[in-house]
Amino acid sequence: MAVIRDVIPAFELFQPTTTDETLALLARYGQSAWVFAGGLDSMDWFADRVKRPEFVVDLSQVKELTRVRAGADGVEIGAMATLTEVVQHPAIKEKYGLLAEAAEFAASPQIRNQGTIGGNVSQDARCWYYRGGWPCYRAGGNICYADSPRGMNREHAILDAVRCVAVNPSDTAPALIALDAKMVIRGPKGERVVDAEDYFIGPAIDITCMTVLRPGDLLTSIRIPSTWAGSKFYFEKVRDRKVWDFPLVNVASAVKMSGNSIQDIRLAVNAVACRPLRLTAVEVAVKGKPRNAETAEAAGKLAIQGAEPLQYNGYKVPLMRNLVKRAVRGMSGEEAA
Amino acid sequence: MKFIQWATSPWGEKIPTHISWGLIWVAIIAGALFLIVHAIYVGFVARPEATAPMDSKQAAAAARVPARVTRHSFGARAFHWVMAASMFVLLVTAFLPKVGYQFDWVKLHWIAGVVLTISVIYHIIHATFVLDFWSIWPDSQDIGDASKRLKRARGQSAPAPMRAGKYPLENKLFHLIVLLAGLSVIVTGVFMMSRVRTPFFTRDPYLFGDTTWGWMYVLHGLAGIGFVALIMAHIYFAVRPEKLFLTKSMIVGWITKEQFLEHHDPERWNVEGGASKAGPKGREVAT
């Protein structure tokens, strides 16, 4: 009898219905367990036979993780809420439009219907050497194929690269950082709440992980405080194909104005480093300054300090500079013109 | 348990990538077991060691020993503590991330590696041209005395061994092992720096083939975990009561005449006027 080998490797599937049940499964199987949210990142890995988990814990039946609760103190979004639900939620659209806009820029309508916000912020790097199953640093090896004399690195990092030069591809991540979101994580030691900017980790900390999630941990929800509700928001994403692609660079800002001056600001970019970067130096530099072209120009220049482009991604330096300029000024290139 | 992690290269070759990180625990357990076994042996089993009485020549040399004998010059002590500090940083930055403590370790690791390398280069030059290069290497007298000590420890009849020169055999063997492990981590580490961003080299991950790189990482890792056990043993001996005078000498630089005469042969380690001087085999060495 013929044996069909061209299929996803076998695994044991669990479909818990509660968070507690999920955590028990993750605790039982530890590193062998694979958390499966919308499945868009996971299925790529499985279909390419690069990741071969023994146990897959599918969260699709855990309804409590899909809830979105809005209140005076902010909004709490279940990690399994789809990107479409985030885009369409009235409270998010009204008060935290930055996140709705960022989520709407992610992928395609079909993918947003299936993809979750928890998955979007926890997805793995898209470096093709890594995704192709090559034994690079991120895969536990001892080389970065992208950061080599002949590496194809057009989409890779220009900042904060330490051995691995893959970038974080999330669109919602910089928006959540700009909104000062908190990531609620439950694990073997109970619940902990992590600032969005600290949720993401670079290769200097752990080269095989994109987030602080450890085996047994589960991102259960994302809390957005009301601090920045209704502020002036700006989100822009530059990608190769406008219809559906990962960002080459994206930027998100939340600005509070006092007259013509910037009273307070939170600013983050993604796809320029192995993790989304909050640009605190730029924030400090522009606070109290008028929101005009001059301030934006200075912010753009400051943002790219320390950038180290690779052979093929030098274009990201001016691209990031211009996106930061626009985010600080609050208007796109066309509007500014 | 696997000893080496393997991967498949883009060209389909099976290549080593690292040691298995579980070996860290093997090194720690092996080091701890050695300490426990040694402490039990010394405390409950070993007989008091005796050394051969001094002959007239040795007695004459002993009479000239000053009240304080310089054991380690300032340069030698500085090297030891700089090396110790860099080694501590290297081990912490190498292995804590592997056992779950996540922090930005790469830059700290290679900076400490550079400090270690410079300090070892200094030590090699200092020991070769200023100190007695040969005093740290085992010689025939050491081997003969070790054989006598072994026989006496087993209850067999053997003449009492001589006192040691500047360094006892255990010290010399430890130095030899540290030398091998140290050179392994330094040579492989210098090459590995060409794979990360430093001010010293232009990155070139293809300096060697995948398999050569893999074995280099394995050797670096093996020597690294070797150091875990070696340093555990080193610290253990440093704090043992009968060795404390040596530890103190690594801080203050000297030992007393009584300590000298109890443990050292004035003919093999010739000292005069408070400082080490050229003995039969040359000049002093410090490690």
Domain boundaries, chain A: 12-62
Crossing angle (nearest 10°) for helices B169-192 and B106-129: 130
Instruction: Tell me which DSSP letter residue B282 carries.
Output: B
Chosen from A143, A144, A152, A163 to mutate, greatest number of chain B CBs within 10 A = A143
Reported pTM: 0.85
Contacts of A145 in chain B (CB under 8 A): 10, 205
- Residue B234: burial class (beta carbons within 10 Å; 0-12, 13-18, 19+): middle
Instruction: Tell me which DSSP letter residue A305 carries.
Output: T
Contacts of A214 in chain B (CB under 8 A): 100
Rama region for B186: left / alpha / beta (φ>0; ψ in -120 to 50; rest): alpha
Count the domains in chain B: 1
- Residue A143 to residue B210, Cβ atoms within 8 A: yes
Alpha-carbon span A98 to B222, nearest angstrom = 51
Q: How far is A332 from chain B (nearest CA, A)?
A: 36
pLDDT at B281: 42
Q: Which domain holds residue B156?
A: 4-48+71-242
pLDDT at A27: 97
Helices (H), chain B: 23-40, 56-63, 74-95, 106-129, 140-153, 169-192, 210-239, 244-252, 257-263
pLDDT along chain B (287 residues), means of 10: 89 93 95 96 85 80 87 95 98 92 91 97 95 90 91 86 90 96 97 89 86 96 96 96 94 94 87 53 38
pLDDT at B284: 40
- Residue A142 to residue B105, Cβ atoms within 8 A: no
> Does residue B26 lie within any of the structural domains?
yes
> Does residue B252 lie within any of the structural domains?
no
- Residue B104 to residue A205, Cβ atoms within 8 A: yes
Q: Residue A324's closest CA among A282, A287, A272?
A: A282
CA A62 to centroid of chain Cα atoms: 22
Q: Which helix (H) or strand (E) holds A113?
A: helix A109-114
Dig out the tokens for A259 from the structure. 């007259």
Contacts of A308 in chain B (CB under 8 A): 197
Q: How far is A165 from chain B (nearest CA, A)?
A: 11
- Residue A204 to residue B197, Cβ atoms within 8 A: no
Q: How far is B79 from chain A (nearest CA, A)?
A: 30
Give SS3 for A69: strand
Alpha-carbon span B111 to B33, nearest angstrom = 32
> Does residue B29 lie within any of the structural domains?
yes
Q: How far is B239 from chain A (nearest CA, A)?
A: 35
Dig out the tokens for B32 from the structure. 């701890």
- Residue B205 to residue A206, Cβ atoms within 8 A: no
Q: Hey, which residues does A218 pair with through a beta bridge?
A: A186
Measure CB to CB from residue A144 to each of B15, B105, B205 and give the nearest one. Answer: B205
The domain that holds B137 is classified in CATH as 1.20.950.20
- Residue A135 to residue B197, Cβ atoms within 8 A: no
Dig out the tokens for A270 from the structure. 């993604």
> Does residue B80 lie within any of the structural domains?
yes
pLDDT at A2: 56
pLDDT at B282: 38
pLDDT along chain A (337 residues), means of 10: 69 98 97 97 92 96 97 97 98 97 96 98 96 94 90 96 95 98 97 98 92 96 97 97 94 96 97 98 97 97 96 97 96 68
> Does residue B76 lie within any of the structural domains?
yes
- Residue A149 to residue B206, Cβ atoms within 8 A: yes
pLDDT at A336: 65
Alpha-carbon span B117 to B161, nearest angstrom = 38
> Does residue B89 lie within any of the structural domains?
yes
Q: How many CA atoms lie within 13 A of B241 on its CB side?
A: 3
Residue in B closest to A211 by C-alpha:
B102
- Residue B7 to residue A140, Cβ atoms within 8 A: yes
pLDDT at B286: 36
> Does residue B247 lie within any of the structural domains?
no
- Residues from A in contact with B at Cβ < 8 Å: 134-135, 139-145, 147-149, 161-163, 201, 204-206, 214, 308
- Residue A147 to residue B203, Cβ atoms within 8 A: yes
> Does residue B237 lie within any of the structural domains?
yes
- Residues from B in contact with A at Cβ < 8 Å: 5, 7-10, 15, 17-18, 97, 100, 102-107, 195-197, 203-206, 210, 213-214, 217
Measure CB to CB from residue B102 to each of A134, A147, A205 and give the nearest one. Answer: A205
Q: How far is B88 from chain A (nearest CA, A)?
A: 19
Protein fold of A12-62? 3.30.43
Q: Residue A145's closest CA among A160, A157, A163?
A: A163
Owner of token pair 């040359």: B282
Tens-digit pLDDT profile for residues B138-149: 999 999 999 998
Q: How far is A40 from chain B (nearest CA, A)?
A: 25
